[in-house]
Structure 1
């Protein structure tokens, strides 16, 4: 694992739930000695945010604006493809050392969901696939390699291009564009999670590739339940994912 990825993971741990709320409460406890009201308010604020963002209703405050920025693709093959010449599928993590698969690495659940939609779009449009994702965690095989194998094994679809050197979304965009340019590809369907789509589109917008958003894995479209108001770990994970994307959008705007 390279130093930039390691630094990013430490920063994420501090800025995302639940550690950000722990740190906010700790700051409040420190400030109570000199400013009792301010310190106590910060402690209560950290607890309130933790409870609210641990509910599905609370998490949707962060999730919905990200997901509604790009609508799902619908219609005929021509309407879906919108003149694109290929489909680019971004990696979404791995399951390392899966014992049921002979202790080999496998695509994560999020990545499998993207691959399922990629296979669907491929069959609907006939467009070739590029899978992209490197080895940011220091693994021996790239995420793109895992994705290509899963596409062939689980969906009987072959990836035409395998980009396995990128470590983040910005590199996904730059390296995918460099791989597709010699093939005469100038416009692609960009496939990733609905929450991740806005940041991905901004990254690909910095390249010579024109991208059409092909989001999947929508959360905010799901039916509401009475339990949506109860705190649970799953809702907190959604809040963490969405907050990661909001911070990422800010960082990309400042850096790129």
Structure 2
């Protein structure tokens, strides 16, 4: 695993729920010996943040501003290709002969990309390397899944990228060699804002084609109940907010 990827994983573990709330509580306990009121406040804030982000209502505070930036695709326009971003893997899947397979959110991206190809006839590029050190790239397993399970052909496989920024730069290089400058970009709606920014920075004309909208369900009483799935969603959305800030500083 590249050192930069390992460093990013450590930073994410510390900055995202639930570790950030637990660290805030731990700091509060340490401060209570000398600054009782401040320590108690930090403990309260840590517990409150964990509880709020564990509810769907709390998660939507982070999710909806991201998902609302780009609506579902209405028309392909003058796009020349479909670019599908990788989203990790499910390793050693026994039901598929112990091959690695796309993650659940990655599978939704692939399904939508295949759907768009059937509608438009546009060629597909899949992008994703092996940030976890796996011998097979995400692009390779994505291409295999598209051909085997979804009947979609892949023209380009970008197999070296480890980050969304790498996805953009390396994919743009491949596409421009074939004189392609206009793309449909497929990723989930939460990830789309950061993806559009970095792909647009390469000079490509990007038409967003988001999928997996999680904030469209109607309100219900269970939105106020804590659940692990809500905390996971909050963590993903917070990761995107932090990622946008980091890309703004770094790139």
TM-score bin, normalised by smaller chain: over 0.9
> C-alpha deviations, 1:171-207, integer Å up to 9, x for none?
0000000000011101101110100000001111210
Matched, 1:189 2:198: no
Residues matched between the structures, number? 251
Q: Distance in 1 between matches of 2:65 and 2:148?
A: 35
Within the candidate set 237, 243, 256, 2:238 is matched to: 243
Distance in 2 (CA, whole Å) between partners of 1:132 and 1:173 is 9
Query: Which of these residues, 150, 153, 167, is aligned with residue 155 of structure 1?
Result: 150
Equivalent residue runs for 1:216-227 within 5 Å: 216-227=211-222
Cross-structure match for 2:45? 45
CA distance in 2, matches of 1:205, 1:50: 35
Separation (CA, whole Å) in 1 of partners of 2:225 and 2:69: 27
3-state SS of 1:252 partner: helix
- The residue aligned with 2:103 is 108
Question: Secondary structure, in 3 states, of the residue corresponding to 1:218?
Answer: coil
2:198 counterpart of 1:203? yes
Equivalent-residue separation in structure 2 for 1:153 and 1:222 (angstroms): 32
Q: Deviations over 1:126-147 (max 9, x none)?
A: 1110000000000000000000
CA distance in 1, matches of 2:184, 2:137: 22
Runs of 4+ in 1 over 2 A off after TM superposition: none
Q: Deviations over 1:51-70 (max 9, x none)?
A: 01100011000000000011
- How much does 1:222 deviate? 1.8
- Tell me the secondary structure at the aligned position of residue 60 of structure 1: helix
In the alignment, the residues of structure 1 paired with residue 151 and residue 217 of structure 2 have an alpha-carbon distance, to the nearest angstrom, of 29
Partner of 1:3: 3
Please report how far the alpha carbon of residue 223 of structure 1 lies from its aligned counterpart in structure 2 after TM superposition.
Answer: 2.6
Q: CA deviation digits over 1:35-93, x for unaligned, max 9?
A: 1101100001000010011000110000000000111112xxxxx11211001000011
Q: Which residue of 1 aligns with 2:59?
A: 59
Aligned to 1:131, which of 108, 121, 126? Answer: 126
Counterpart of 1:252 in structure 2 is: 247
1:227 CA drift (Å): 1.0
CA distance in 1: counterparts of 2:218 and 2:149, whole angstroms: 29
TM-score normalised to structure 1 length: 0.97
Task: Provide the C-alpha distance between the structure 1 equivalents of 2:171 and 2:218, rounded to a whole number of angstroms.
Answer: 36
Report the counterpart of residue 77 of structure 1 in structure 2: none
Taking the aligned partners of 2:176 and 2:51, their CA distance within structure 1 comes to: 48
**Which SS does the other structure have where 1:81 is aligned?**
coil
RMSD: 0.7
Distance 1:225 1:127 in 2: 40
Which of 132, 136, 140 is matched with 1:141 structurally?
Answer: 136
Q: Which of 99, 116, 121 pairs up with 2:116?
A: 121
Q: Residue 26 of structure 2 corresponds to which residue in structure 1?
A: 26
Any unmatched runs of 5+ in structure 1? Answer: 75-79
Q: Structure 2 regions of 5+ residues with no counterpart? A: none
